[in-house]
Amino acid sequence: MTTLIIDDEAPARTIVRQYLADFPQLEILGECADGLSAVEQIQARQPAVIFLDIQMPGLTGFEVLARLPVVPRVVFSTAYDQFALSAFEAGAVDYLLKPYDRARFALTVGRVLNHAAQPDAALQRLLQRLETSRAAQPAAPTPATYPPRLFVPQGPRLVAVPVDTIRWVEAAGDYATLHTTAGQHLSNLGISALQERLDPQRFLRIHRSVLVALDAVRELERDGSGGFYATLEGGRVVRVSRSHADSLRPLLG
């Protein structure tokens, strides 16, 4: 498992490097001393886990995560205890409060290795963290609150899918498949949860198992029973159930 050490204090980076020497399972790719270089190195080297300080020049640890299209496992390492709740809300594997000893560090590494085998719960927490603002959201969402991208699991990582590229969404049991201009992605959110995250001015539920982007609809044909067949860009035909037909009638002119 590869790792980067990110901290603006050289002694702190040295301690992490020394403690990691006890764990040959973790390969150190390098070190970063500020938030901007951290973003660059994480994107270039794609480590499996990062040891991340919070208060750094350029960008904070939280701002580093917000700029990443793919988010690795995160262990926060900081001298400030007031960020612990926000760190775990962000899906952190652990929160190391400086100063810490080898025993506490070993506990953290154990959690990292265990997390590698069972990533789903933490991925879900991180999905929720990255797709919403840290500020409280209003009860009735406004267009500004809808995220411009969704994060989907890809192995142990999360990959950003721009909402503008989504053409339609299909239920897949408790999950959903995002059909995009670049391919397909399996989301670990169900279609109803995804519907809440997508702007209803741009996406419509046309069937209990299908959600479409309005600008992807190329043709509508009545099915003779009160519903429609919708032809999407690319030629895909999906059925609009009678219970959802009213939502598409405005498109008929």
Alpha-carbon dihedral 12, 16, 17, 20, rounded to 10 degrees: 170
Q: Is residue 59 located within the same domain as residue 152?
A: no
pLDDT tens digits, 172-229: 877 888 999 888 888 888 888 898 889 988 888 888 888 888 888 887 777 666 667 7
Where residue 98 sits, what CATH number does that domain have? 3.40.50.2300
| Beta-strand relationship, 166-172 and 157-162 | unpaired
Q: Which of 9-18, 24-33, 70-79, 137-146 has the lowest mean pLDDT?
A: 137-146
- Domain hosting 186: range is 143-252
Q: Is residue 74 located within the same domain as residue 163?
A: no
Where residue 155 sits, what CATH number does that domain have? 2.40.50.1020
Largest CA distance in the chain: 73
Q: Which of 85, 101, 118 is the last residue of a domain?
A: 118
Q: Is the peptide bond before 99 cis (omega within 30 degrees of 0)?
A: yes
pLDDT tens digits, 86-136: 777 666 888 888 889 999 999 999 888 876 655 444 444 444 544 443 333
The total number of structural domains in the chain stands at 2
Q: Is residue 94 located within the same domain as residue 184?
A: no
- Residue 183 CB neighbour total at 10 angstroms: 9
Q: Which of 83, 118, 153 is the last residue of a domain?
A: 118
